[in-house]
Chain A
């Protein structure tokens, strides 16, 4: 089955750290860019970060730049998001999503169900 599955969310105190993972299966992981998109409770979608297929290009939203680090391990078909110096406003469901410029002009054509991150004391 073609899918991406996130893990690693949980409750963390302000200033703490968390590492999210996204396991991909059923498709050629190395052919796709990968992305993190978050959704705060009751709010809309917010793009967080993107990484190209070979990790050559990495981008971040200003709201997380300097605190979050995206990476991938193509040998393990896995995407990661290291989140440091967490703030209450980082509380959200974090979705992993794939994209391909050639096929869909970089639209996010497959999403995981997400993992919840709660930042609270």
Chain B
């Protein structure tokens, strides 16, 4: 099974900050890496697929990048509605695996 290791597990940031979340795959996943946002009591929402493709309707302040088995989600200027938990997930092989999540909190 491919393990997804996300860091940090939580972070505190202010509105306007640049925020970076990383995800490392235990094996090659050929850019089959997706990012989701989840707010309390709500369903997850797809932000980025295929490592760097922005899902329709997602603001351009969200971006994704890849370097080998390391992946990064960047929020260029954190907005109040961005405080949530973020998950990475690989769709390269089964079992589909998620990172453990990164909770972005207000500083």
Contacts and interface: CB of A to CB of B under 8 A. Distances in A.
Interface of A: 35, 37, 44-47, 50, 59, 61-62, 95, 99, 104-114
* Residue of A35, A107, A113 most packed against chain B (CB within 10 A): A107
B101 A47 contact: no
Interface string B75-107: 000000000000101010011111111000000
A44 B49 contact: no
Contact of A44 (B45, B50, B94, B100): B100
B91 A45 contact: no
B68 interface: no
B43 A114 contact: yes
Contacts of B49: 104-105, 107, 109
B44 A108 contact: yes
Which of A45, A104, A111 counts the most chain B CB atoms within 10 A? A45
Output the residue of A47, A99, A114 with the most chain B CB within 10 A.
A47
B34 interface: yes
Interface residues of B, number: 25
B36 interface: yes
Contact of A113 (B43, B96, B98): B43
Given A47-B97, A107-B34, 18 more contacts: A44-B87, A44-B98, A44-B99, A47-B89, A47-B98, A50-B96, A61-B95, A104-B53, A105-B32, A105-B34, A105-B49, A106-B91, A107-B46, A107-B49, A107-B91, A108-B34, A109-B46, A112-B43
Contacts of A61: 95
Interface in B42-75: 42-46, 49-50, 53, 55
B98 A95 contact: no
A109 to B, nearest CB: 5
Contacts of A114: 43
A104 B42 CA distance: 22
B51 to A, nearest CB: 9
Q: Which 6 A-B pairs have the closest CB atoms?
A: A107-B49, A111-B43, A106-B91, A47-B96, A107-B34, A104-B49
